[in-house]
Structure 1
Amino acid sequence: MKILRHLLSGLALAALACSPAFAQGITATTVTVGQSAALSGPASELGIEMRQGLLAYFATVNAGGGIHGRQIELVSLDDGYEPERAAANTRELIERRNVFALIGYVGTPTSQAAVPIFTDAKVPFIGPFTGAELLREPFNRYVFNVRASYFQETERIVDHLVAAGTTRIAVFHQNDAYGRAGLAGVERAMAKRGLPIAAIATVERNSTDVAGAARALAAAKPAAVIQISAYASCAALVKAMKNDDAPVQFFNVSFVGSRPLAAALGEDGHGVMVSQVVPYPFSGVEPVVREYRSAMTAAGHEALSFTSMEGFLAAKVFVEGLRRAGPNLSRKALIDALESIRRHDFGGFVVNFTDSDHNGSDFVELTIVGRGGRFMR
């Protein structure tokens, strides 16, 4: 009888291991999620910080026993902020690593490359670090945006400038899907006010060759430049134009990477502005910020940032979906559970999903770089 019990137990485990749940990155004790992000190269700080935020929250959850008895495991692959590598990583994560869901991808072109892959595989794609419309329109049931859009960020920036009497506004953008998404947002905001864009200049992805862009923009004599690129090229442009003594205000959208931007600018950063889509991570006023700071400290991370705060929030929303989905977890159950998050306050950050709208937040505020690279509201 003892031998028979062992045999039956072995057969049961074998059957469970071959079940659809296991194929979807779920076991009785774990749930595995995947991330493709820039962990090396000129945009690596963005991927590293996003990953830190994800892991900080997952570690807190796991220390408390996980969700319905399952520990959350994260598999992160480096794409260097290149679309082709992101596509290959997405296939690897879904087809070979058998992840349950994807979370915290970094960038518009990389996310765009992943869309047809995860959509075809029906894998949830949660909290990407991008505000591009291509992840919002047309509606995709597998995409859950935790943050506000680039349209909302650029509207806020243009509104701020025009209200202050600044109407001669130029755009510097990365020459890819991300840059074009931000440019479209500025064009929309300017057209709404009947204003032309003073000048447009570009930079290639993962490049800091901005000399031509700086000359073109300086010749147009704008009062403000809205930058839609990553921190290295944006810092290079600010330095180049300040060296020409051009009296220009510089504005950036959140994807720039606020902390590395300030570090790259040094003393040239004073007065540069960045729109943010998550609560201010340095004050500890909101409950979710205090929770974030505690988790980062426990994980051994002294440097706080808006980007790791965004990763932390993406993880928090995902875990709330797991909690609502219950112990009988499936991808469909997770999607249904996330769609049940209606005007939910995560401690100072409200998220709202429905079965026809997966754009969770419209939170946008402006920050400015002060002396010593510190951000102020």
Structure 2
Amino acid sequence: MKTWHALWAGAALALSLFAPSAQAQILIGQTAGFSGQVAAGVKETTDGALLYIDSVNAKGGVNGQKIELISLDDKFDPKLAAENARKLIEENNVSAMFLNRGTPHTEAIIPLLDKHGVVLVGPSTGAMVLHQPVRKYIFNVRATYQREAEKAMTHLASMGITRIALMYADDSFGADGIAGAQKGLTAAKLTPVVVEKFDRAKPDFPPIAVKIAKADAQAVLMVASGSAVVDAGNALRSAGSGAQIVTLSNNASGGFIKSLGANARGVIVTQVYPNERAVTFPMVKEAQELAKAKGLTEISPAMLEGYAAAKVLVEGLKRAGPKPSREKIHAALESIKKFDLGGLEVTYGPDDHTGLDFADLSIIGTDGRFRR
């Protein structure tokens, strides 16, 4: 898939070859699963980013140059993500990469970032492997999955829930989330009643659901993406389990709620941004106003993630000057200290590309909205 932004960017690039007077563009590359199991969340994070990018372009762009986002669909396949990144970096000659999705997918493109000195801003993953050790060209914006999962376990324990099951995708994302959950359980002096992993590409949920039901689990943390959580939840209910379903912020989208259908109410989803209706945060109020101007009635947590990432990207481009080379953008991002996103601050340096540490919990209400 190539979005209209990509088509527009391609047309603008072609025009610039034949018309020297055409306005210069800053090309930014994105590879993400616009189709497949994470499509709903990817669309919302990208829409959130475009709220801010479009508003910047409407005011003349950055140092007189418009930002053009070239978005390619990797179908949530790490191999395709790497190939898309190669095309964007080597053929489209993008100045930076932005807002990709997935832990193994991000790991797959790191060699290209290192080879060409291209930064990746705001990967839509909270993988600890992207934080420690510091990845020179990756600038995280959101908190880690480990922090989210640990907070979720602490919350469940504080409610008196002791029989907790863990199920996770058999990949680096799943292992990362479970590591955080285990920290929280250890702190609460609890042992999970079931720990099961599944094949991300070909999951078989019914046998796992039966184990969880037989263990009489009161809650189950699902470290998985989009449709996998939906299918696992359906299998759980079919097996007769009424366990509280808990999942991480990678599923914090309105599309995810819709996909859950009748099983949506009561699902706990961790969050890495403030309440999307908390206008006391200037960033939230900004995003709401821009969304309203585009005819959108509300924003989602996933949109806020994209919006925040876009603010960091634009700040880096501004600091890089009128000719933002890849090297200048990297140096500019590392110079950011206490940058106010609108109620949340981001600081980077050679030894710190972590970004935010904000983590919270939400529950899906009867109205199909996240409640804090």
Q: How high is the TM-score relative to the length of structure 1?
A: 0.88
Please name the residue that 1:234 is paired with.
229
Please name the residue that 2:341 is paired with.
346
Q: Could you list the per-position Cα deviations for residues 212-247 of structure 1 after superposition, in whole angstroms to 9, with x for gaps in the alignment? A: 221122222222111111121212222332344423
**Equivalent pair of 1:228/1:256 in contact (CA under 8 Å):** no
Please name the residue that 1:55 is paired with.
50
Please name the residue that 2:145 is paired with.
150
Alignment of 1:124-143 (within 5 A): 124-143=119-138
Match of 1:201 among 192, 196, 200: 196
Alignment of 1:62-101 (within 5 A): 62-101=57-96
Q: How far, CA to CA, are the matches of 1:144 and 1:118 in structure 2?
A: 12
State which drifts further: 302-311 or 349-358: 302-311
**Equivalent pair of 2:167/2:223 in contact (CA under 8 Å):** yes
**1:373 alignment partner, SS class:** coil
State which drifts further: 302-311 or 248-257: 302-311
Q: How far, CA to CA, are the matches of 1:290 and 1:209 in structure 2?
A: 42
Q: Could you list the per-position Cα deviations for residues 86-145 of structure 1 after superposition, in whole angstroms to 9, with x for gaps in the alignment? A: 010010110101000000001112111111111221100110100001211221110100
Cα deviation, residue 369, structure 1: 0.5
Cα deviation, residue 302, structure 1: 4.3
Determine what percentage of the aligned residue pairs are the same residue: 37
Match of 1:321 among 316, 324, 331: 316
Please name the residue that 2:10 is paired with.
none
| One-letter code aligned to 1:113 | A
**2:367 alignment partner, SS class:** helix
**Equivalent pair of 2:252/2:269 in contact (CA under 8 Å):** no
Q: How far, CA to CA, are the matches of 1:355 and 1:118 in structure 2?
A: 16
Q: Is residue 2:327 matched to residue 1:336?
A: no
Cα deviation, residue 348, structure 1: 1.8
Cα deviation, residue 40, structure 1: 1.0
Structure 2 spans left out of the alignment, 5+ residues: 1-15
Q: How many residues are aligned here?
A: 353
Q: Could you list the per-position Cα deviations for residues 239-293 of structure 1 after superposition, in whole angstroms to 9, with x for gaps in the alignment? A: 3323444231111110124322211223322111111001222343321112112
Please name the residue that 1:263 is paired with.
258
Q: Could you list the per-position Cα deviations for residues 136-170 of structure 1 after superposition, in whole angstroms to 9, with x for gaps in the alignment? A: 12211101000000111011111111222223221
**Equivalent pair of 2:144/2:357 in contact (CA under 8 Å):** yes
Please name the residue that 1:118 is paired with.
113
State which drifts further: 57-66 or 198-207: 198-207
**Equivalent pair of 2:103/2:172 in contact (CA under 8 Å):** yes
Q: How high is the TM-score relative to the length of structure 2?
A: 0.89
Q: Could you list the per-position Cα deviations for residues 287-315 of structure 1 after superposition, in whole angstroms to 9, with x for gaps in the alignment? A: 11121122223345445221121111101
Q: How far, CA to CA, are the matches of 1:118 and 1:336 in structure 2?
A: 15
CA 1:308 to 1:317, structure 2 compared with 1: closer, same or farther past 3 Å?
A: same
Match of 2:35 among 20, 31, 40: 40
Q: How far, CA to CA, are the matches of 1:300 and 1:177 in structure 2?
A: 38
Q: How far, CA to CA, are the matches of 2:176 and 2:135 in structure 1?
A: 18
Q: How far, CA to CA, are the matches of 2:210 and 2:181 in structure 1?
A: 21
Q: How far, CA to CA, are the matches of 1:275 and 1:138 in structure 2?
A: 24
CA 1:200 to 1:315, structure 2 compared with 1: closer, same or farther past 3 Å?
A: same
Please name the residue that 1:278 is paired with.
273
Match of 2:215 among 220, 227, 242: 220
Please name the residue that 2:352 is paired with.
357
Match of 1:190 among 159, 177, 185: 185
Q: Is residue 2:283 matched to residue 1:288?
A: yes
Please name the residue that 1:3 is paired with.
none
Q: How far, CA to CA, are the matches of 2:147 and 2:283 in structure 1?
A: 23
Q: Is residue 2:247 matched to residue 1:247?
A: no
CA 1:127 to 1:137, structure 2 compared with 1: closer, same or farther past 3 Å?
A: same
Q: How far, CA to CA, are the matches of 1:108 and 1:311 in structure 2?
A: 17
Please name the residue that 1:20 is paired with.
none
CA 1:181 to 1:270, structure 2 compared with 1: closer, same or farther past 3 Å?
A: same
Q: Could you list the per-position Cα deviations for residues 14-59 of structure 1 after superposition, in whole angstroms to 9, with x for gaps in the alignment? A: xx98xxxxxxxxx973211000000112221122112212222110
CA 1:198 to 1:363, structure 2 compared with 1: closer, same or farther past 3 Å?
A: same
**Equivalent pair of 2:206/2:235 in contact (CA under 8 Å):** yes
Q: How far, CA to CA, are the matches of 2:345 and 2:204 in structure 1?
A: 39
Q: Is residue 2:333 matched to residue 1:370?
A: no
Q: How far, CA to CA, are the matches of 1:258 and 1:74 in structure 2?
A: 21
| One-letter code aligned to 2:262 | E
**Equivalent pair of 1:42/1:206 in contact (CA under 8 Å):** no
| One-letter code aligned to 1:72 | I
Greater Rg over alpha carbons, structure: 1
**1:173 alignment partner, SS class:** strand
| One-letter code aligned to 1:375 | F
